[in-house]
Structure 1
Amino acid sequence: MARFDSPVPGTHDPYRAAADRYAGTDYRKVGNSGLLLPPISLGLWWNFGDDRPFATQREILRYAFDHGISHFDLANNYGPPYGSAEENFGRMMTKDFRPYRHEMIISTKAGWDMWPGPYGQLGGRTYVLNSLDESLKRMNLDYVDIFYSHRFDPDTPLEETIGALDTAVKSGKARFVGISSYSADRTRQAKQIADSLGTPLVIHQPSYSMVNRWIEDGLTDALDELGMGAIAFTALAQGLLTDRYTTKGGGEQGPGRPSFTVDAAKNAEVVRRLDALSEIARRRGQTLAQLALVWVLRRPTVTSTLIGASSVKQVAENLKALDNLELSDEELAEIDQYAVEADVDLWRSVSES
């Protein structure tokens, strides 16, 4: 089956994956493990809940898989409403992707609020394992390839949280486990506990972008020392690192953008830096968003970066970043003049706990 560059015709058509789906992608190792991920993975955070047309979601996932994106990242509370992204993915898993399950890396997480009461969030054993069971039901899966502790829980012994991840693996419900938004010190502690249990804790999922560089202050060094890899989220800073917010782009804020992105886009100094970064991208024949993805992937520690998408067109545009992944020393030095913090990290307080 040949690739297509237009939306999937007829979402009721039987799906057969493109025969050349692996032709244009170089898969990358996660740390020292045998786990391989595509450089760009698809996150189902905002655009796969019940407020979006199911047919559009299905087009996006089909297109992504046909173009080498074999990793789909979810969490228990992705939606809206909570759980609906997993439910919608589960429908597509049953209808489209079941024959390809062994080719896919599917991840989910537990840690943020999911249901009311004392056992509905954070890192306690009861919540973590109950959440995984519910996620598997919603996604129509027997196991996930990666199960994450979505955030560090200061009120629960880390041994309990990592012990729950260990149980997930030993029960056959997860192949690998990871952590998200943990500081460097907490990452080292988690890895030590996991190693003592024989648990394959191989990956960290941090926020990371040209305007949110906290992981460079010790976390990447820790991951390298521990033999772990990273998969970055918010590489585009929730849309801030796109040409729409530059002067030429008109500073378009658009509906539904997070408040921190809108606030940053109103800052004249931030816009000046975006304009400069966009000019660097233009000289490379890329958009600012494509440059932002390339920049995050420049570090060998970062195995993959997650993208969000509301259309096939957005996936296609992001994948074009892979056409030119090389950054010269001169380009990196120039980027460093403008790639500075812009106060867009909602997860910093968690990661530094």
Structure 2
Amino acid sequence: MQLRDDFAKHISELHNPIDRPYTASIDKSLLKNTEDIEHLNKEIHDVNPDYLTFLPAYFWVFYFTIGWVYFSSFWLGNYFLQDIGEVVFIDDEFSIFDIVFSFLWIVVFGTPLILFLYQLIRKHFIRTQYYFLKKQQKIAYYYRPLWKFRQPYELKIVEYKDVIPDLHQDPYNRAYTPLNLYVADPETGDITHHLKLEDYRVNPRVQWAFIRTYMESLADDLPIDSQFCEAYPADTSKSLFACADIIYRKNGILPSDHSGSGQIMVFIIGSIIALGNLFQANHYQCTKRAILHPDVQKLLTWDGQDNPYPIQPITDEAKLAFEGRNWEVNVRWVCIILINVGLFVWAVVAYNS
């Protein structure tokens, strides 16, 4: 079973199954939802006659992780600047109790920041990406149980026609209803594969209609707008900063050519949430991608020419950015980090003054 405890273990226990592949006509009215379609266009990582894939959906833990890092770092700084500083530099005393207590304090409040920096450097896989292979009518992805983090990722290839889509509603958050795709044993009904798309920012019915249209219909039927759908080479990027720019470009804050315009808005927004942006960029940069596996590569037949799906090409500036050689992008993010560090130091000093 490839399921968390809060998901169904048997196909009869699914929450809200919807139409399966090829079993009913696609509801084209869902594809007229402008906001959801624009969102999906911005999330597309690549679309061509062979495969469709989205940028990996982010997850709720991100918000709590960043908050934990900030508050833990804040209190860690407060402790060292005030409590330890008073004991060592003012009272000139330092007992065994102070040493043990300081060590425990570092472990409790310093671990989030240490793990955060460790992830930025090592780039361990957090999420995987699903590849919808149109010509082969398959879905390829990597899987590893959450609790078996030492186990290597295993490549999974499932038949698209066997997928059972379900709208799983989180019992603790009724607004969170992601699209889940299951594959079950036809004899026992036990679920053998679970694909968690987990994009809560889009109507899951629209997302499923979008996927079905790609897999089952002609290219002209897919609502692709090159104004929003951009080719992000996140899987080949050597630049964390270029990946972080994706966040701004998806929200329309920056143009897509990495030309350096719109810097003031980036400084204002980026300086406040720089850690969050960099963490999300790290997520894009190191996602486990099945497309790199030879067993998936040999399923592809597209020669890279005459893509029937309109998608905004990568500019020369963007290519330099993703190679880490665009000085405007690099300088911008260095300045953002310096501003962010300065604000953080100011807050700690002000609190302890």
TM band (smaller chain): under 0.3
- Larger RCO (CA within 8 A; separation ≥ 6): 2
- Normalised to the residue count of structure 2, the TM-score between the two structures is 0.24
Larger radius of gyration: 2
TM value normalised by structure 1: 0.24
* Structure with greater proportional helix content: 2
